[in-house]
Amino acid sequence: MKTGDWVVLQNCHLAAQWLESLEKICEDLREDGADLTKVNRDFRLWLTSYPADDFPVSILQNGVKMTNEPPKGLRANIGNSFGVTPVNLPEFFNGNSQPQKFKKLLFGILVFHAVIQERRLYGPMGWINKYEFNEPDLRISVKQIDIFLE
């Protein structure tokens, strides 16, 4: 705060019990009576969170909000998945010793991921247990395909 560094607090939604303290910290930063000599003008506080009912409204009202909307449609989902690390790295994508098998399996897991992501639109219909198969799951699955083929 004093040196103008940036601070990133990720996954704030996972610390619901701490959000009240975070709100107090943010209020102290922007109070008119605060000692602004302690806050460098280059200081930034970045917060990441999924939508959460517990998230303090005052922080949302006084901050700049950015969203990352998921792609819509199978084609957009598959295209987005090709941009995920490590798939987007040429040395990973072209580095397997069995490229034909690897790329077929890779495409299959990317299509599976896209279908699961699109399936969220329908809610719990047809699913016994809700499971998102999100981006971290996709990353580890892609790495496992590479490992198994090597």
User: Does residue 1 fall inside a structural domain?
Assistant: no
pLDDT exceeds cutoff 90 at 116: no
Q: Examine the domain organization and report whether 53 and 111 are in the same domain.
A: no
User: Does residue 33 fall inside a structural domain?
Assistant: yes
Average pLDDT over residues 118-144: 81
Tens digits of per-residue pLDDT, 7-26? 999 999 899 899 999 999 88
Smallest CA-to-CA distance from 7 within 55, 39, 53 is with: 39
Give the domain range for residue 17.
Answer: 6-61
User: Does residue 66 fall inside a structural domain?
Assistant: no
The pLDDT score that the predictor gives to residue 71 is 81
pTM: 0.61
Q: Examine the domain organization and report whether 29 and 57 are in the same domain.
A: yes
User: Does residue 67 fall inside a structural domain?
Assistant: no
Q: Examine the domain organization and report whether 89 and 144 are in the same domain.
A: yes
The pLDDT score that the predictor gives to residue 127 is 67
H/E stretch holding 48 reads: none
User: Does residue 30 fall inside a structural domain?
Assistant: yes
Please count the structural domains in the chain: 2
Tens digits of per-residue pLDDT, 34-86? 565 678 888 899 999 988 888 999 998 988 888 877 788 899 999 999 999 99
The pLDDT score that the predictor gives to residue 124 is 67
The pLDDT score that the predictor gives to residue 91 is 96
Do residues 80 and 112 touch, judged by C-beta distance below 8 A?
no
